[in-house]
C-alpha cells in the first residue's frame, strides 16, 4: 500500500487528524489509516478502541458542518496488527472546514496528490456556488444492504423492485454501488425515530419511550402504531341517532407530520427524528432547516422544494404521500373548527410541527357552505385538485376525501362544482367515475 490522492497513512493518532477528513470530504473521498507508517509498513496501534474514540471525538468536535454521516470508523487487522480505518465519502455540504478557523483558506482543506492542503479562495467560492452531490445520491458507506421491508412495500403497491427499477430510482448509482438513498430504505438504516410520552406538559417525567430503527418504511409504520396506541378517543358526539367517535388528535394530521419529518429531514446531519407526546400536544422535530432560498412563508403557501427528491418520489410512487407540497395544507385542514391550531416552527437546523389535542365538544364542519369554507380556502382547495390532476392525469372522489379530510358527500360536491365551472370533466360510469382536466 502507498499513499495517494485517496489514501493517507498515520503512524499514530494526531490532534490535526480532522484536516485529512476535511480534505477527503471536500474532494473525492478517501481513507485514513492510523497505525501505518508513511512508507506503508504496518506498525499498528496499541489500544485500538481508545484510538477509535479519540478519532471520533476529534472529527465531531473540529469539523463543520457535521460530516459524520459520511464517515465510517472501524478497527481492522493488517499483518496481525490492529489498525484503525477511517473511510470518508465526499460530503454533500461542502465546503467542510475547521471550526476554529471558519470558511477561510486556513480552515478549508482539499486533497492534492498525497497531501491535504489549504483550499484557495476561488476553490472555496466554487464549493459554495456548486453544492456537491445531494446526500441521497452519494455512495453509501455501507454496501451490505438488504431490502426486505422495501420489497414488501413495493409488492403491496403492485410495483416491481428489481435491479432495473433500483437503478432508475437512484437506489443503485452509476458506479453500480448502493447510494445513501438505498441505505435509508434498507433494513440496515442507522437513523432512528425516538418516541417519548411525558406526564403533563413538560419533559420532567417520562411515561414511556421507544426507538424505531431499520428501513424508513418500517420506522414510519412502527411510529404510527405507537402514536395511535396513545391517541385516545375523545368525548363522543351525537349526530341525530348516530354516535360519532373522534380521536384526540386527527389521524390525518399525525400521518402528514410524521411523513414530513422523515421525508424532508436533512440526512447529512447526524441525529434522530424526535416525537414527543405531552398531555396537551404532540411535537415532531426533524433535523435540517428550510432548503436554501425557501422561507417559512413560502412553505405555508404550499411551495414544495424537495431536499430529498428521490426519496420523496419513491414515497409518491408507493402512494404514501399524495402530492408534493400538500402536507401542511392537509394538517391545517384537519384542524378546521378547533380552538388551537397547529404550529410550525423553523430553526437554523431543525423543523418542528406541534399538534394540539382537539376540543372535546367541537364538531368538525362537513359541509361546503360559505361559512365553513371561506372563498380563499375553496380557491386553494380547487388549485390543489388541479395540481393533483396535472401530476396524475385524473382524480377520484376518494382522493379528495384523503386530501382534505372530508366526507364522501363533501368530496362529491367539491368535484361537481368544479365540473359545473368547467375546471374538470367527469368521465366513466356511475361505479367508476373519474375527473380529468
Q: What is the pLDDT of residues 305-320, one digit of tens each?
A: 778 989 999 998 998 8
Q: Which residues neighbour 232 within 8 Å (Cβ) at sequence distance 6 or greater?
A: 247, 248
| Segments in 38-171 forming alpha helices (H) | 48-62, 121-129, 148-156, 163-169
| Segments in 271-374 forming alpha helices (H) | 296-300, 309-317, 327-334
Residue 85 DSSP code:
E
Amino acid 129: pLDDT: 67
Distance CA 353, CA 373 (A): 24
Pairing, β 63-64 against β 30-34:
unpaired
Q: Give residue 242's pLDDT band: very low, low, confident or very high (50, 70, 90).
A: low
Q: How many CB atoms lie within 10 A of CB 217?
A: 24
pLDDT tens-place string over residues 307-365: 898 999 999 899 888 666 678 888 988 898 888 999 999 988 899 999 999 885 444 44
Which of 416, 372, 366, 368 is closest to 395 using CA atoms?
Answer: 416
Among positive and negative, which fits the CA dihedral 193, 196, 201, 202? negative
Amino acid 367: pLDDT: 41
Burial category of 289 from C-beta neighbours within 10 Å (exposed 0-12, middle 13-18, buried 19 and up): middle
- Cross-strand partners of 179: 139
On average, the pLDDT of the chain sits at: 87
**Domains contained in the chain, CATH given:** 7-132 (3.30.950.30), 134-364 (3.30.565.60), 366-437 (1.10.10.10)
Which of 194-203, 238-247, 383-392, 416-425 has the highest average model confidence (pLDDT)?
194-203
Amino acid at each position: 500500500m502507498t499513499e495517494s490522492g485517496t489514501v493517507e497513512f498515520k503512524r499514530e493518532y494526531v490532534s490535526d487528524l480532522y484536516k485529512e477528513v476535511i480534505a477527503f470530504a471536500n474532494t473525492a473521498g478517501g481513507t485514513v489509516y492510523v497505525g501505518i507508517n508513511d512508507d506503508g509498513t504496518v506498525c499498528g496501534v496499541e489500544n485500538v478502541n481508545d484510538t477509535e474514540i479519540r478519532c471520533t471525538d476529534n472529527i465531531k468536535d473540529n469539523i463543520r458542518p457535521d460530516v459524520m454521516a459520511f464517515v465510517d470508523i472501524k478497527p481492522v487487522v493488517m499483518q496481525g496488527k490492529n489498525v484503525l480505518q477511517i473511510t470518508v465519502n465526499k460530503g454533500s455540504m461542502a465546503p467542510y472546514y475547521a471550526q476554529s478557523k471558519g470558511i477561510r483558506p486556513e480552515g478549508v482543506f482539499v486533497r492534492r496528490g498525497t497531501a491535504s492542503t489549504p483550499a484557495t479562495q476561488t476553490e472555496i467560492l466554487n464549493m459554495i456556488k456548486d453544492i456537491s452531490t445531494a446526500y441521497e445520491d452519494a455512495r453509501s458507506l455501507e454496501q451490505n444492504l438488504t431490502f426486505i421491508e422495501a420489497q414488501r412495500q413495493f409488492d403491496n403497491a403492485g410495483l416491481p423492485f428489481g435491479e432495473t427499477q433500483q437503478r432508475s430510482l437512484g437506489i443503485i448509482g452509476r458506479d453500480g454501488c448502493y447510494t445513501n438513498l438505498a441505505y435509508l430504505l434498507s433494513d440496515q438504516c442507522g437513523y432512528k425515530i425516538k418516541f417519548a410520552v411525558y406526564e403533563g406538559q413538560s419533559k420532567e417525567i417520562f411515561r414511556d419511550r421507544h426507538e424505531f430503527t431499520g428501513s424508513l418504511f418500517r420506522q414510519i409504520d412502527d411510529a404510527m402504531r405507537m402514536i395511535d396506541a396513545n391517541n385516545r378517543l375523545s368525548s363522543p358526539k351525537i349526530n341525530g341517532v348516530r354516535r360519532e367517535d373522534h380521536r384526540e388528535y386527527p389521524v390525518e394530521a399525525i400521518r402528514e407530520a410524521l411523513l414530513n419529518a422523515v421525508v424532508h429531514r436533512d440526512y447529512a446531519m447526524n441525529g434522530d427524528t424526535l416525537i414527543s407526546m405531552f398531555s396537551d400536544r404532540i411535537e415532531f422535530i426533524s433535523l435540517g432547516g428550510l432548503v436554501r432560498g425557501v422561507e417559512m412563508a413560502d412553505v405555508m403557501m404550499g411551495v414544495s422544494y424537495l431536499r430529498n427528491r428521490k426519496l420523496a418520489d419513491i414515497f409518491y410512487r408507493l402512494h404514501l404521500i399524495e402530492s408534493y407540497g400538500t402536507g401542511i395544507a392537509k394538517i391545517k385542514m384537519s384542524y378546521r373548527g378547533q380552538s388551537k391550531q397547529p404550529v410550525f416552527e423553523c430553526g437554523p437546523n431543525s423543523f418542528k410541527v406541534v399538534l394540539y389535542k382537539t376540543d372535546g365538544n367541537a364538531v368538525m364542519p362537513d359541509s361546503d357552505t360559505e361559512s365553513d369554507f371561506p372563498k380563499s380556502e375553496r380557491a386553494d382547495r380547487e388549485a390543489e385538485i388541479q395540481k393533483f390532476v396535472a401530476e396524475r392525469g385524473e382524480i377520484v372522489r376518494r382522493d379528495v376525501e384523503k386530501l382534505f379530510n372530508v366526507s364522501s358527500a363533501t368530496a362529491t360536491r367539491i368535484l361537481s362544482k368544479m365540473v359545473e365551472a368547467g375546471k374538470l370533466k367527469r368521465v366513466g360510469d356511475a361505479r367508476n367515475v373519474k375527473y380529468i382536466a
